[in-house]
Amino acid sequence: MTTVATDPATSVAEDALIIRRIGNGDRDALAELYARHAGWLTTRLQRRCGNPELVDTALQDTFLAVWKQADRYEPTGDVGAWLWTIANGSVPRNCSLIITIRATQKVLMS
């Protein structure tokens, strides 16, 4: 497992290279990015949402989006900020889905 570099500039450069590898279809690179960022993303998502299922789904959605979009990533900023933007956008979508499912279940059960 790879750890995040202590020098922020090095970390940003390494993340950009990892994203480039993911864009070329490197699954090990996706695992490496996950190892570097899943911990803090999970913590922030837990603070944002509090529902463990939604946090897991948002995290999966985030890294699936990275896999699909990595070849279009422009390294103009911090990869962590890009990941948070994706993850943070996933929470409301998933919350809405769960609310809709629960409302439908309630109607069906009455």
The reported pLDDT for the residue numbered 1 is 46
The reported pLDDT for the residue numbered 107 is 73
Domain 8-109 grouped into CATH 1.10.1740.10: yes
The per-residue pLDDT for range 59-99, each reduced to its tens digit, is 999 999 999 999 999 888 889 999 999 998 877 665 655 55
The per-residue pLDDT for range 15-69, each reduced to its tens digit, is 999 999 999 999 999 999 999 999 999 999 888 877 888 888 889 999 999 999 9
Answering whether pTM is above 0.85, one says no
What the block records as the tokens of 86 is: 């994706």
Helix locations, the chain, DSSP H:
8-23, 27-48, 52-69, 79-109
